[in-house]
Amino acid sequence: MVSNTQSISQPAATSYGEGSIRVLKGLEPVKQRPGMYTRTDNPLHIIQEVIDNAADEALAGFGKKIKVTLHADGSVSVEDDGRGIPFGLHPEEQAPVVELVFTRLHAGGKFDKGQGGAYSFSGGLHGVGVSVTNALSTRLEVVSHREGKRAAIVFAGGDVTEPLVVRALEAGERKQGTTVRAYPDGKYFESSQYPMHELRHLLRSKAVLMPGVSVTLTDEKSRDTQTWQYKGGLRDYLMQELASDPVIPVFEGSGFAGKKDDNFAEGEGAAWCVAFTEDGANVRESYVNLIPTTAGGTHDSGLRDGLFQAVKSFIELHSLLPKGVKLMPEDVFARASYVLSAKVLDPQFQGQIKERLNSRDAVRLVSSYVKPALELWLNEHVEWGKKLAELAIKAAQTRQRAGQKVEKRKGSGVAVLPGKLTDCESRDIALNEVFLVEGDSAGGSAKMGRDKETQAVLPLRGKVLNTWEVDRDRLFANNEIHDISVAIGVDPHGPQDEPDLSGLRYGKICILSDADVDGSHIQVLLLTLFFRHFPKLIEAGHIHVARPPLFRLNAPARGKKPASKQYALDERELAAMIDKLRKDGVREGAWSVSRFKGLGEMNAEQLWETTLNPDTRRLMPVQLGAMDALQTTSLMTQLMGKGEASARRELMELHGDSVEVDV
């Protein structure tokens, strides 16, 4: 404490003035924090950015060949026969366009959507792609063949080292296309080795998604060359990957919006191929604008929803459902293998490496094409439809039997559930979730907006007791804590105990509080309760925190995009959304922003769409981070202990200036 006071009384040591603010220019932010822009375990992702650009040319209808070469010196070159990157002077920046593309974070041909832009649909979307490749390479060479000329430029660490040289094409030289050769800088990556399985899978998937385009990989060290070209597209690929034969013929189709579509932009939609098998591992691959979304996302949810709704309506039409059986989406989806390729005009991804699609509209987009197509197919092939219905009903019966076993084990002497708990209908803890909601008004919206089948709501009045130093025997003196324990069906316990979790009533216990300071406090008090007195629930992955948005942005129609409502978690996300609107050419101030003061302000529909709907919400699992249980306990004691005021003051003095508090 003394040393800290001394440092505060010496302003010269920690002077903070105009000169303290450092502005990172150009590609400096990428070099400072590469992990924010790309994966740093190996250089594959920065090479993928170059491959994606070549694929975008083929997707736009230019170019039929992509060649990737792993050179013996560790560099990688990507060659395409597209239009070639433009190398004339940019009208505003007065610098060669090819230079801007590789040296500016937000420069590219993919921002002008639906306004005669170079690309209507593309995977490269954030405008940081190949400039990140450049920033993290010791050398990067670009050669562009275009309009009868050849242009070459060389970079190192993101800076131009050999300026642009343009000359006329010689006899026999190729007419058009781009070649990029990158030398990844080892200091930014944990390993300089490329994961070959991942790279081959990436290149093969590009060939699958672009029938007729040939993709070649050459490894100079092993002298091995592979070429992929699929004339049959998704079906050929899926049939090769399946572990067992489908029980019904493969269901494939596609649907894309036309010019007169009121809901979606022209060209948006999806192509899919789905196979149902009785055993073996499922094959599930999805893509957005040719980018592999390994963590799935809202387009996968749209496929699941479309399949479920179609099968459900077929079962109802033919009265196939046995009495007492309730069909859930997972019952239909459990044995489905699929390849899904979605086209989304303005996709929002989770994170810069685009592993998961977050665009809320994609659920409706994919579902609206899959559902009618499958309904039609099932009713044209009733026998196959009945076979699929049988598969789904069997899965539902297995699930319900498993749930009933748990019910019997805990049936005797169960406590009376709290009166303010609005329970769900299902008894399957794999699907059930309970929301601990701050306040009665938010609880009311949550009760109206929830899925009654699987979602329960327990409103909490006021702030929960700080239980860090409360004895376990005294916990139930507090009504709120008593109600939480009885509702979830597990008794308080310690880290060394072996509690009986067979009575657990919900697979997910979700803390749902306002996105303000009071809400954060309630969240911390509940996390304290679970960490101190229900640690096995955290260990087993049952505790989650729901993240409601703070802002709603009403965006006007722009180009092909209809007017839309977007939700932002915080000011940073809101700023990014507004920035995107400006890039789309929306007039300043044509959008409107409203701020939610709390959950109680949201109506049931908004709360469902942003916070409760499993397809579009953001739900964070609670788990131990970089610190182990002992270190976490020590820090929690510092934060929540009654006799720790001086330690908390020290923390605030150390970190107070780096926290922005929205009071």
Confidence category of residue 243, pLDDT binned at 50, 70, 90: confident
Strand partners, 417: none
Q: Are residues 222 and 243 in the same domain?
A: no
Q: Are residues 187 and 261 in the same domain?
A: no
pLDDT of residue 110 exceeding 50, the answer is: no
Identity of the amino acid at 278: E
Distance in angstroms (rounded) separating the CA atoms of residues 324 and 160: 70
Asked whether residue 559 is assigned to any structural domain, the reply reads no
Asked whether residue 319 is assigned to any structural domain, the reply reads yes
Closest residue by Cα to residue 352 from 84, 131, 608: 131
Confidence category of residue 320, pLDDT binned at 50, 70, 90: very high
Q: Are residues 168 and 67 in the same domain?
A: yes
Closest residue by Cα to residue 194 from 164, 221, 158: 221
pLDDT of residue 23 exceeding 50, the answer is: no
100 touches 107 (CB < 8 A): yes
Asked whether residue 17 is assigned to any structural domain, the reply reads no
Tracing tokens 């974070």 back to the chain, one arrives at 105
Q: Last residue of some domain: 360, 386, 404?
A: 404
Q: Residue 112 has what pLDDT?
A: 42
Distance in angstroms (rounded) separating the CA atoms of residues 41 and 50: 18
Q: Are residues 393 and 427 in the same domain?
A: no
CATH number, domain of 55, equals 3.30.565.10
513 touches 520 (CB < 8 A): yes
Query: Which tokens belong to 648?
Result: 């908390």
Angle, alpha carbons 387-393-394 (nearest 5°): 90
- Contacting residues for 296 by C-beta, under 8 A, at least 6 apart: 284, 286, 356, 357
Q: Residue 351 has what pLDDT?
A: 59
SS (H, E, C) 263-282: CCCCCCEEEEEEEECCCCCC
Confidence category of residue 79, pLDDT binned at 50, 70, 90: very high
Is 125 known to sit in a ligand binding site? yes
Asked whether residue 534 is assigned to any structural domain, the reply reads yes
pLDDT of residue 482 exceeding 50, the answer is: yes
Confidence category of residue 406, pLDDT binned at 50, 70, 90: very low
Which residues are known to be catalytic? 438, 514, 516, 518
Q: Residue 309 has what pLDDT?
A: 96
Q: Residue 536 has what pLDDT?
A: 93
Is 630 known to sit in a ligand binding site? no
Comparing 431-440, 449-458, 547-556, 637-646, which segment has the lowest mean pLDDT? 637-646
pLDDT of residue 216 exceeding 60, the answer is: yes
Distance in angstroms (rounded) separating the CA atoms of residues 58 and 80: 9
Strand partners, 155: 140, 160
Confidence category of residue 277, pLDDT binned at 50, 70, 90: very high
Identity of the amino acid at 604: A
Q: Which residue has the higher pLDDT, 642 or 453?
A: 453
Q: Are residues 283 and 354 in the same domain?
A: yes
DSSP secondary structure of 542-558: -EEEE---SEEEEEPPB
Q: Are residues 466 and 367 in the same domain?
A: no
- 3-state class (DSSP) for residue 92: coil
622 DSSP assignment: P
First to last CA, the chain: 28
Q: Rank 48-62, 97-111, 175-189, 585-599 by mean pLDDT and report only the highest.
A: 175-189
Closest residue by Cα to residue 282 from 244, 232, 237: 244
Q: Residue 8 has what pLDDT?
A: 33
CA 603 to chain centre: 25
Strands of 111-242 (E only): list them: 137-146, 149-156, 159-168, 177-184, 214-219, 224-228
Query: Which tokens belong to 556?
Result: 């006007």
593 touches 552 (CB < 8 A): yes
pLDDT of residue 109 exceeding 50, the answer is: no
Confidence category of residue 475, pLDDT binned at 50, 70, 90: confident
Average pLDDT, integer, range 352-381: 89
Strand order in the sheet with 564-568: 564-568, 551-555, 592-595
Q: Residue 161 has what pLDDT?
A: 93
CATH number, domain of 372, equals 3.30.230.10
Q: Residue 365 has what pLDDT?
A: 95
What percentage of the chain exceeds 90 in pLDDT? 40
Q: Last residue of some domain: 385, 404, 423?
A: 404
Phi, psi of 191 (to 5 degrees): -135, 145
80 touches 68 (CB < 8 A): no
515 touches 568 (CB < 8 A): no
Taking 3-state DSSP, the helix, strand and coil percentages for the chain, each rounded to the nearest 5, stand at 35, 20, 45
Q: What average pLDDT is seen over the chain?
A: 84
Is 129 known to sit in a ligand binding site? yes
Asked whether residue 422 is assigned to any structural domain, the reply reads yes
Domain count, the chain: 4
Asked whether residue 115 is assigned to any structural domain, the reply reads yes
Average pLDDT, integer, range 494-506: 89
Q: List, as own/partner pairs, every contact residues 247-254 make where C-beta atoms lie below 8 angstroms and the sequence separation is at least 24, other chains included.
A: 247/276, 247/277, 247/278, 247/387, 247/388, 247/391, 248/276, 248/381, 248/384, 248/387, 248/388, 249/381, 249/384, 250/274, 250/275, 251/275, 251/374, 251/377, 253/369, 253/370, 253/373, 253/374, 253/377, 254/369
CA 350 to chain centre: 4
Is 132 known to sit in a ligand binding site? no
Q: Residue 403 has what pLDDT?
A: 63
Q: Are residues 421 and 510 in the same domain?
A: yes
Asked whether residue 475 is assigned to any structural domain, the reply reads yes
For 425, the domain range is 412-548+596-623
Q: Last residue of some domain: 404, 423, 447?
A: 404
Q: Residue 114 has what pLDDT?
A: 44
Average pLDDT, integer, range 103-108: 64
602 touches 596 (CB < 8 A): yes
Is 493 known to sit in a ligand binding site? no
Query: Which tokens belong to 79?
Result: 């060659």
Is 124 known to sit in a ligand binding site? yes
142 touches 168 (CB < 8 A): no
Q: Residue 439 has what pLDDT?
A: 78
Q: Are residues 418 and 481 in the same domain?
A: yes
Q: Are residues 42 and 141 in the same domain?
A: yes
Asked whether residue 585 is assigned to any structural domain, the reply reads no
Q: Are residues 649 and 601 in the same domain?
A: no
Q: Which residue has the higher pLDDT, 36 or 505?
A: 505
Q: Are residues 158 and 211 in the same domain?
A: yes
Q: Residue 180 has what pLDDT?
A: 96
Average pLDDT, integer, range 248-270: 90
CATH number, domain of 462, equals 3.40.50.670
- Contacting residues for 640 by C-beta, under 8 A, at least 6 apart: 466, 468, 469, 524, 528
Q: Residue 11 has what pLDDT?
A: 39
Is 483 known to sit in a ligand binding site? no
Q: Which residue has the higher pLDDT, 358 or 7?
A: 358
Which helix H or strand E contains 161, and what residues bound it? strand 159-168
pLDDT of residue 462 exceeding 60, the answer is: yes
Query: Which tokens belong to 437?
Result: 């909601």
- 3-state class (DSSP) for residue 504: coil
pLDDT of residue 174 exceeding 90, the answer is: no
Strand partners, 80: 66, 178
Distance in angstroms (rounded) separating the CA atoms of residues 637 and 1: 18
Q: Residue 485 has what pLDDT?
A: 92
CB-based burial, 613-650: b 16+ in 10 Å, e otherwise: bebbbeeeebeeeeeeeeeebeebeeebeeebeeeeee
Identity of the amino acid at 229: Q
Is 128 known to sit in a ligand binding site? yes
Q: Are residues 509 and 606 in the same domain?
A: yes
What CA dihedral angle connects 535, 538, 543 and 547, to 10 degrees? 110
pLDDT digits (tens, 9 = 90+) for 120-149: 455 543 335 788 898 899 999 999 999 999
pLDDT digits (tens, 9 = 90+) for 598-634: 887 888 898 998 899 998 888 899 988 778 888 888 8
Is 160 known to sit in a ligand binding site? no
Question: What's the sign of the alpha-carbon dihedral 631, 632, 635, 641?
Answer: negative
pLDDT digits (tens, 9 = 90+) for 149-165: 999 999 998 899 999 99
